[in-house]
Structure 1
Amino acid sequence: MAVAGTERHKLIGDVHLLLIDQQGRVLFGRRVNTGYEDGAYHLPSGHLEAGESMVAALVREAKEEIGVTISAEAVRFAHVMHNSSSGGRVAFFFLVQDWGGDPENMEPGKCDDLDWFYLDALPDRMIPYCREAMQHIAAERQFSLYGW
C-alpha cells in the first residue's frame, strides 16, 4: 500500500448510468475511435463538470450520449468505486428504470453499437473496472476499491 503524501489530492468524478429496461437488462455502448478501450462495451458515462451535482451530470450524460430524458427523482444510487487510474478517481454508478424517449446512439463517432445485457450475461469485452463494478452491483455491495 502506498503512503499518502501531505498534499491534498483532487479526485476526478465519473458518473455511470445503469439504464434498466422492463426485462431487467442494462444498456451498454461499444466504444470506437476514442483511443481508450475501443471495442469494449461500457455504460453511458462521463465526467463531472465544475459546479455540477452527480445527478445533474448523470441527467446531462444520458441526454448527450443516448438521447433519453431522466428526472432527478428517477435516479437511484447503486455503487461507488475508488479507482486508482489517473492517480485516483471516483466512479459513481446509478440505476434508472424510468426515462423518457427511446435510447439511441447520439455519439456515433465514439460509439458503434448500443445493446442490452443481463447482469449475469455481460458482454465478453468490457472495460475491466466497469465489469468489476457490475459484479459488486449484482452482489448489492455499494462500495469498492479498484487497482489500489
Structure 2
Amino acid sequence: MHRAQERVTVFDDALRALAADMVATMYAAEGVGLAACQIGEDVAMFVFDCPDASDQRVVGVVCNPSLVLPEGRDRRLDDSPEGCLSFPGAFVDCARPDYAVVEGVGLDGRPVRFEGDGLLAKCLQHETDHTVGTVFGDRLSAKAMKKLRKQHDAAVDDYPADWPT
C-alpha cells in the first residue's frame, strides 16, 4: 500500500463490478470510504458514502483522483479523530485541512468533482492518499501511531482475518 496505484485507463464492466464490490465491502465494514488497494487491487480508485459537516450525505466513485486543498489564510486544520479500515477498531486524532476538493473521473471516464468539509473533507483526503501510496499511519506522530496500534491490537478479536468479507 506504500506505492502509487495504477491509473484507470479502461472504463468497462469489470471496473463497474470492482466498484460495486468495493461499495459492498465498505458498507459491510461500516466505513465511509474504501480505496481499491485496501482490497488488493492495484487501481487508483476509491468509493465513499460520507456526511459533510452539515450531515449532508455525499456518495461517489473517483478514479485517478487529484486533491486540491486550501492554502494560506483559507487553510484551517481539523484535528479530530480519524480511522482506517486497514486498522479496524482504532481511531486517533489526525490534523488535516477542514475543506477538500477531489477531482478525477467516474466509472464512465467523465470528469467528476467532489468537495466538502467535516468528515467528508477527511474522507476525500484519506482515500486519495491511499491511491498515491500514503497510508493513514504515515501522517501520525510516533506517539499517535503507538496509540493507534494499541487500540487496533485490543480490538483484533472483533475483526477476524477475513473481515469484512
User: TM-score, length-normalised on structure 2?
Assistant: 0.24
Q: Which has the higher contact order (CA 8 A, sep 6+)?
A: 1
- Identify the structure with the greater helix proportion: 2
User: TM-score, length-normalised on structure 1?
Assistant: 0.25
